[in-house]
Structure 1
Amino acid sequence: MNTQLTILLLSGLAGTALAQTPTPDPNTLMNLGRFEEATQLLSRNAQQSPSAQTIFDAGYGYLRAGKPDSARIWFEKGIAMDEKRTPLNEMGDAITYLVKNDPANAEPKLAEVVKKSKGKNADILYRIGEAYTGYLTPGNGSIKPLYAKVVNAATAIDYLNRATERDKKNPAIQLALGDAYYLNKDAGTAVTRYESALELGMDPSRVYQRIGDIYWQGRNLNLAVENYKKAIEANASYAAAYNQLAELYFLVNRYKEAATYIDQYVNVSKDKRQETLLRQAQFHFLAKDYQRTVNLIDSNRTALAQNPIVYRIEGWAYSSLKEPQKAIQNISTFLEKAPEKVMPDDYKYLGLAYMGIENPGSDSLKAVNDSIGVTYLAKAAPFDTTENLYSDMAKYYYRAKKHPEAVAALDSAAKHNFKADVQDLFRYGMSNYTLGFQRDSLGKLVRDTVRFAQADSALALAQKASPDYAPTVLYRAKANYYAYTPEEAVRNGKAKPYFEQFIAMVSDKEDERNRYKKDLLLAFKYLISYNELVTKDDTARTEWLTKAKALFPDNQELAKIGAPVAGEQ
């Protein structure tokens, strides 16, 4: 889902006018992959107008639908109606054994068919050659043989070339030859044969789509897009090209375009199959059009109701829409209906939904929901390579004052190569700062210098990213102060630049001054002591004391600090 390909994608297709079209014919339906509809039409036609050809067509439809046993039933019905030199249904019957990988039955039957037609019937030769391609089936960004085990490109080319000798102007033979050469790993000749089919009058939309598919498989996405565009220009109602474009844009993470084209595909083709509607909803979810996702599911509820994946997609969408109760309901239903299909993202969206529940006036209930949510996020986080769920977990732990868990979550984020943002860095620093104050077995305060050092390192990075945030500067000062005894902290001077910076940031702002009164007093006392004990600079000491008393004239501690005794160094 995260394949990164840089290509020039041609614009302008999204606005192509959509023509109103009648119900597609069976051949078009098969090309669209809508085999159930195609076989229904072909079967009805064979029943209403039975002939060797109509019965063969019905069997062929089932053959292309991947149902050779059903196809054989039709072919066996039609054998009696075959012309002597054109044993269509007898050939179809032989092909059913071929595609079922039963050469012992298939080969003598095919030999008999060729013998009866004296090897001169182009249609017979064409149909046998096409069968050896396994019936290439394009769709959803791939072009693969329906019956992979039967594929024999050399045999297919042989039969199709013999068919061409008998009927040089048959575009269907050229299209099949293109398929055979593609399977023979000769894409250049395949495209040439497709172009020959076009010159002989083959529906240009179908040919351009086929060429587009070949280029896609060769990873030449520019030419794939160009040919899909030509298919739509030739016939704005040619649905298959819209579908392929949707899948191509999906491949390159252009989800908005993918959603637009699958909408156009559904509008043109009237394809209401469950898998198509589900794909449409998925594309809109990936395009972050969450309301459209929900609307699509709701409007196709009957068609989609039996597929539990619907509850997953709708739940994820509601989670992203900040409707947590609906998200929880849908995802929980999915987990109940399809536990064997659960994936980490289910836990991610479920966790985010629980943490998104607002409980006004009930902090305890909010805490319960957040606790449930973070439990689900913990299940998903190790598997998510795109979203830093550890950050969400750390945010919860930090607010809940569970600092060891907050640190552990952010350590896990780093191990999974997630880059910490400024808030992650601040929380990591503050949690380590808090954990720096430990108690021994007797309850005596013990400074954890490693924790304070980790706090300062994280806060330094946070300060670099956001230099004007006063709390970051303050706690860098305090981390460097409390890591030592008061006298050690003053004498080593590590906290000095940060206390100075903190005073400069907040002392001239009355609201900030009131908010940080205790911290400002600590900062001033530190700087007074530093100039008294370390620099022995009476002038600087006096300046800091004077400024402190001016800001806090009623403070008794400052009042007790007098001027230095004359002659003291």
Structure 2
Amino acid sequence: MNLKPWKLTLLAALSVSGTAALAQNTTGAQKSIDLERYSEARASLLKQGSSSEASYELGRLYQMRDMPDSAAYYFNRIPLNQKDATSLVAAGRAALAQGKTAEAEAQFDNAVKASKGKNAQVYTMIAQAYAESDVKDITKALTYVDAAQKLNKSGKDDPALMIARGDIYLKSETGGGEAMNSYERATLADPNNVKAYVRKGQLNMRARTYNEAKTNFDKAISLDPNYAPAYNALAETYYFAGRYDDALAQFQKYSSLAEKSLLLMPSMHPSCTSLRNILRH
């Protein structure tokens, strides 16, 4: 299946100009990344200097842009401390970004040891690292998901973990069912989780169940009318369903909310050329 839902679909990842008001902190930068406002996130994080939090998010941002060396640079900018699980996760992500899977696994295992295997958040961070990577073998990644779930005593799923679980399963050709189950669990745990509804819709779209996809994207938009990726995904849904006027309308909404960027090259997305031609007319 090889769907990478954390990557841009119709627009390029980063523009160096034309950004909106900057996010004021790391949480704001994380939100900007979710909203596909990568220049905004980058500028905000750079203003925060070399803090570990900012470096971590910059590493994620560059990994999403398929710039592994830059991603590794920012992850490695966090001082390595064998007693600090977060720094070890960052070191693992640096290795993972550069395809050094064995080294990444060693650092992740060190992070677990540093937290004495009792911190579900550490396991979740590692699961997210795999979810946002190009690693195709999901076996090791799922062990961290399972470990996080075992530490959950509340009986209620963690939406962030469930989304990571779904994204991991999407790396498998036969993982669509488990991915959808994961996103469903995320929405049950948090009925206001916009990202989970978008993920569900993206899976519906790949299965060509366009009505279900539209339902999920509409739900995401109803929860957050400014969530640009939902309009982008809805535009694709309409496009593949042959509803070109509706596709154009949704893409224009996306363009009004998202960062101003260049369209991807046609070879990177099959619908891009046609949508660009529609926009020209």
TM over 0.5: yes
In structure 1, distance between residues paired with 2:68 and 2:142: 23
Q: How far did residue 238 of structure 1 move?
A: 1.5
**Aligned AA (1:245):** L
Name 1:57's counterpart in structure 2: 57
Deviations 1:441-497 (A, max 9, x none): xxxxxxxxxxxxxxxxxxxxxxxxxxxxxxxxxxxxxxxxxxxxxxxxxxxxxxxxx
Given candidates 30, 33, 51, the residue that maps to 2:33 is 30
Q: CA deviation at 1:281?
A: 9.4
**Residue in 1 that maps onto 2:141:** 156
| TM-score, normalization by structure 2 | 0.75
Q: Post-superposition shift, 1:227?
A: 0.8
**Rg larger for:** 1
Over 3 Å counting, the alpha-carbon distance change for 1:186 and 1:74 in structure 2 is closer
1:123-134 correspondence runs (5 A): 123-133=121-131
DSSP-derived class of the 2:77 partner: helix
Could you say which residue in structure 1 is the equivalent of 2:105?
107
Q: Which amino acid aligns with 2:100?
A: D
CA–CA distance in structure 1, aligned partners of residues 202 and 22 of structure 2: 25
Give 1:217's aligned residue.
206
Using the alignment, how far apart are the partners of 1:281 and 1:218 within structure 2? 22
- CA 1:74–1:284 in structure 2 vs 1: closer, same or farther (change >3 Å)? closer
Identity fraction in percent? 28
In the other structure, the counterpart of 1:240 is 229
- Alpha-carbon distance change, 63 to 123 in structure 1, aligned in 2, over 3 angstroms: farther
* Greater relative CO, 1 or 2 (CA 8 Å, sep 6+): 2
Change (3 A) 1:102 1:200: same
What CA distance in whole angstroms lies between the structure 2 residues aligned with 1:166 and 1:53? 25
What is the Cα-based RMSD across aligned positions, in Å? 3.0
Find the aligned partners of 1:197 and 1:71 in 2 and give their Cα distance. 28
Partner of 2:90: 92
CA-CA distance at 1:254 after TM superposition: 2.1
Q: Which amino acid aligns with 2:56?
A: F
How far the C-alpha of 1:207 sits from its partner, in A, is 1.4
Paired with 1:281 and 1:132, the residues of 2 have a C-alpha distance of 31
CA contact (8 A) 2:72 2:97 kept: no
- In structure 2, relative to structure 1, the CA distance for the partners of 1:285 and 1:202 (3 Å cut) is same
| Alpha-carbon distance between aligned partners in 1 of 2:21 and 2:158, rounded to the nearest angstrom | 26
Instruction: Report SS of the residue matched to 1:274.
Output: coil
The whole-number CA distance in structure 2 between the counterparts of 1:27 and 1:213 is: 21
Q: Shift of residue 280 of structure 1?
A: 8.8
Q: Give the counterpart of 2:194 among 195, 205, 208.
A: 205
Gap change, CA 1:42 and 1:198, over 3 Å in 2: farther
Indicate yes or no: 2:104 matched with 1:119. Answer: no
Sort the Cα spacing of 1:281 and 1:174 in 2 relative to 1 into closer, same or farther, 3 A: closer
Q: TM-score, normalised by structure 1?
A: 0.40
Query: What residue number does 2:150 align with?
Result: 165
| Displacement after TM superposition at 1:26 (Å) | 2.4
Question: What are the residue-to-residue correspondences of 1:471-510 with 2, within 5 Å?
Answer: none
CA contact (8 A) 1:259 1:284 kept: no
Conserved 8 A contact 2:22-2:44: no
Contact 2:217 2:230 in 1 (8 A): yes
Q: CA offset at residue 93 of structure 1?
A: 1.7
Q: CA deviation at 1:239?
A: 1.2
Match of 1:273 among 256, 261, 277: 261
Q: How many residues align?
A: 249
Q: Which amino acid aligns with 2:115?
A: S
Pairing of 1:233-382 with structure 2 (within 5 A)? 233-269=222-258, 271-275=259-263, 283=275, 285-286=277-278, 293=280
CA–CA distance in structure 2, aligned partners of residues 83 and 120 of structure 1: 16
Q: 1:57 and 1:64 mapped to 2: Cα distance?
A: 11
In the TM superposition, what are the counterparts of 1:394-405 in structure 2 within 5 Å?
none
CA–CA distance in structure 1, aligned partners of residues 239 and 162 of structure 2: 31
Flag structure 1 segments of 5+ consecutive residues without an equivalent: 1-20, 136-146, 287-291, 294-316, 318-569
Q: Is the 8 A contact 1:172 1:202 kept in 2?
A: no
Q: Kindly state the Cα deviation for residue 201 of structure 1 after the two structures are TM-superposed.
A: 3.0
Shift of 1:255: 1.7
| Deviation sequence 1:273-305 (CA, Å, 0-9, x none) | 0217x999953743xxxxx73xxxxxxxxxxxx
TM-fit CA distance, 1:83: 8.2
Aligned to 2:167: 179
